[in-house]
Amino acid sequence: MSTRMITSGDVTLWSEGFGDPADPPMLLVAGGNLSAMSWPDEFVELLAARGHHVIRYDHRDTGRSSRVDFASRPYTFDELVLDAVAVLDGWEVAAAHVVGMSLGHTIGQLLTLDHPGRLLSLTVMLGGALDVDFDAAIEHATAGRPSADGLPPPTQRFLDVIALMSQPVDGAEAELERRVEKWRLLNGADLPFDDEEFRRRELRAIAHAGTFQEPITHHLIAQPPVSRGAELAGVTVPTLAIQAVHDPAAPPPHARHVAELIPGARVRDMPGMGHALASAVHLPLAAAICEHTHQAAHQVITGGAPR
């Protein structure tokens, strides 16, 4: 493992590489308000063992990356996309297999639209297509109404997370337990939840960031215009949409909807998985991602079309 501090405009981003730098590069783009530590070491090592040089990084306002005064210096998804490009530049990577989850799901789609030459393939999970208005979907779910676009809104477990995280807590231990409870809700009802596993991960993330204060800035960023969803019809990057079957934020068939918008995109269901990277899903998830990246590499060599 090695680390690099990357400059992106007026911010500095912490990043870390795993595996052999001679292997095909893979960039992991984390979820909202999450640092690189949200990609568990064990999972990253599985990806590296399958033949990738894996790079993860802290979004701005998380981990060891720069903090921004959002009130006086607001930023948009466009800048988060440029951060991902800066990380590739900082590691001297011309193009990478990009894997995005949650917020990273959105960033991954925008990368394919605005910087397609920087991607060898795209894998997205735990999010929705650019034409989905999630803010409106949450409002509809709260009111008990179906979403206007016909796709399922976030479930009650996700609404419970929003309520949980809005409650004040007293002290570091209470904050830690609240974070563990958040992951229990996001993990979904079907997959067994290991409290200690997620407690260890949160302590690792806290130690990495040097603070118990959980980031919230990404909640303030305006979603990209839903009109950008129509642009996905022009994507040529080989794309895999992974559907976490018990994702409370983007339940089935959100991944299938993404795949219907992107020509040639494939869908892979991940049984039992919620909106979390529980250790029980590491092996099948890593296998699905690397099967996709290897197929994408074969398409480049043979000139074949994605299937």
Q: Kindly state whether residue 6 falls inside one of the protein's structural domains.
A: yes
Q: Which pair of structure tokens corresponds to residue 239?
A: 């794309």
Mean pLDDT of 200-214: 95
DSSP 99: E
Predicted pLDDT at 304: 53
Predicted pLDDT at 1: 82
Q: Kindly state whether residue 291 falls inside one of the protein's structural domains.
A: yes
Predicted pLDDT at 77: 98
3-state secondary structure of 291: helix
Q: Among 94, 8, 109, 110, which Cα is nearest to 53's?
A: 94
CA distance 54 to 45: 8
What is the identity of the amino acid at 203?
L
Q: Which listed residue (61, 83, 133, 247) is catalytic?
A: 247
% of the chain with per-residue pLDDT over 90: 93
Q: Name the pLDDT band for 300 (thresholds 50, 70, 90).
A: low
For the beta carbon of residue 188, count every other beta carbon within 10 angstroms.
22
Annotated active-site residue 35? The verdict is no
CA distance 199 to 248: 21
> Over 70: is that where the pLDDT of 282 sits?
yes
Predicted pLDDT at 305: 47
Annotated active-site residue 275? The verdict is yes
Output the domain CATH number for residue 122: 3.40.50.1820
Q: Which listed residue (102, 121, 149, 246) is catalytic?
A: 102
- Torsion angles phi and psi, residue 94, rounded to 5: -70, -40
Mean pLDDT of the chain: 95
Mean pLDDT of 56-63: 98
Domain that holds residue 38: 2-134+207-302
What are the residues facing 18 on neighbouring strands?
54
Tens of pLDDT along 69-92?
999 999 999 999 999 999 999 999
Q: Kindly state whether residue 62 falls inside one of the protein's structural domains.
A: yes
Predicted pLDDT at 301: 54
Cis peptide before 74 (omega within 30 of 0): no
Tens of pLDDT along 4-39?
999 999 999 999 999 999 999 999 999 999 999 999
Residue partners of 301: CB distance under 8 A and separation at least 6: none
168: left (phi over 0), alpha (psi -120 to 50) or beta: beta
Q: Which pair of structure tokens corresponds to residue 224?
A: 């990209």
CA distance 170 to 160: 20
> Over 70: is that where the pLDDT of 127 sits?
yes
Rg (the chain; Cα; Å): 18
Residue partners of 226: CB distance under 8 A and separation at least 6: 130, 131, 132, 133
Distance, C-alpha 181 to centroid of its chain: 20
3-state DSSP percent of the chain in helix, strand and coil, to 5: 45, 15, 40
Q: Kindly state whether residue 94 falls inside one of the protein's structural domains.
A: yes
DSSP H or E run through 137: helix 134-142
> Over 90: is that where the pLDDT of 306 sits?
no
Mean pLDDT of 39-61: 98
CA distance 135 to 34: 19
Give the chain's domain count. 1
> Over 80: is that where the pLDDT of 68 sits?
yes
Q: Kindly state whether residue 110 falls inside one of the protein's structural domains.
A: yes
Annotated active-site residue 53? The verdict is no
Q: Which listed residue (59, 257, 275, 292) is catalytic?
A: 275
Q: Kindly state whether residue 191 falls inside one of the protein's structural domains.
A: no
Predicted pLDDT at 188: 84
